[in-house]
Amino acid sequence: MRESAVLDDLRARIAQIEGTDGRHYAIPFGIESIDCRLPGGGIATSALHEIAGSTDLADEASATVFLAGILARVEGPVFWCLRWRDLFAPALHLAGLHPDRVIHVEAGSDTNVLLAMEECLRQPGLAGVVGEVAKYSTTASKRLQLAAEGSGVAAFVFRRASRVEQAVEGTAAVTRWRVTAHPSEDLGIPSLGRPRWRVELERVRGGNPHSWIVEGCDATGRIALPAALVDRPAAQEERQFAA
């Protein structure tokens, strides 16, 4: 290992200042190669996370289920603040997020979605708060991050129709993800196998960007690494992003 004890100590101190030292609870994916790249070993609660699909509806759907899968593995109610009306609740259930746990808030506009999110984030004890927006400013992200830190609730901003090549504004979010559809394994029969996604961790505070090919959520919201890819050398997947 190239890190010395001094560096470790410094990192721990910086993390403590930044509030990413894992003293809060984190929601692990249960996949070692993903969890080890996230501070605290998973999706940190009391923090803001950004998730995007792309302009393609199928990628948006993938990102939606990816998000539902994370929330399915936490206890408590979920507030999902909407601007559009295309979310189809049965799919959340298929990823393990029971409809009784999800309260939909039709806020109507970006501003209202952010307002509703902030209101929800003041309430401790929720499993998570999701907001779907087209655009949001750095200031808004700072406000949400502060609110999430205050209550210990995980906040997710779902940036809709976000272009892959789009230069992203600075953000206070702890992680930024992009989930897009990936061709699944050909079963050789006229049927579809488990869906695959390309999950890109575009930005993570206190860590490096990375990307994985994963298999979609099962009925309890767990993703998995495809069997054929598990043993592939990590270097081959390593990609650097200008985050």
Contacts to another protein by CB under 8 A: 56-62, 64-66, 68, 76-77, 79, 85-95, 98-100, 102-108, 112, 115-116, 119-120, 123-126, 180-184, 186-187, 190-192, 195-198, 216-217, 219
Q: How far is the CB of 26 from another protein (least distance, A)?
A: 19
By beta-carbon proximity to another protein, the closer residue of 3 and 186 is 186
Pick 154 or 172: Cβ nearer another protein: 154
From residue 23, alpha-carbon distances to 9, 15, 100, 149, 152 in Å are: 16, 10, 30, 12, 11
Instruction: Output the smallest distance, CB 9 to another protein, in A.
Output: 33
Q: Cβ of residue 119: shortest distance to another protein, in angstroms?
A: 6
Task: Say whether 211 sits in a helix, a strand or coil.
Answer: strand
Range list of H helices, 21-56 = 32-35
Q: Which is nearer to another protein, 183 or 233 (CB)?
A: 183
Question: By C-beta, is 90 or 233 nearer to another protein?
Answer: 90
Q: Which of 218, 231, 240 is nearest to 95 (CA)?
A: 218
CA–CA distance, 207 with 210 (Å, rounded to integer): 9
Taking alpha carbons only, the member of 173, 167, 163 closest to residue 139 is: 173
Q: What is the DSSP string of 194-206?
A: --EEEEEEEEETT
Query: Least separation, in Å, of the C-beta of 89 and another protein?
Result: 3
What is the nearest approach in angstroms of another protein to the Cβ of residue 181? 4
Place of tokens 């992200």: 141
Show the tokens assigned to 6.
Answer: 């001094």
Of the two residues 157 and 172, which places its CB atom closer to another protein in the complex?
157
Which residue's CB is nearer to another protein, number 69 or number 209?
A: 69
Q: Cα(215)–Cα(225) distance, rounded to whole angstroms?
A: 6
Which two structure tokens, joined as six digits, stand for 208?
A: 């490096």
CB of 2 to another protein, least distance (A): 37
> Which residues make beta-bridge pairs with 211?
200
CB of 222 to another protein, least distance (A): 13
Q: What are phi and psi of 50, to 5 degrees?
A: -110, 140
Which is closer to another protein, CB of 26 or CB of 63?
Answer: 63
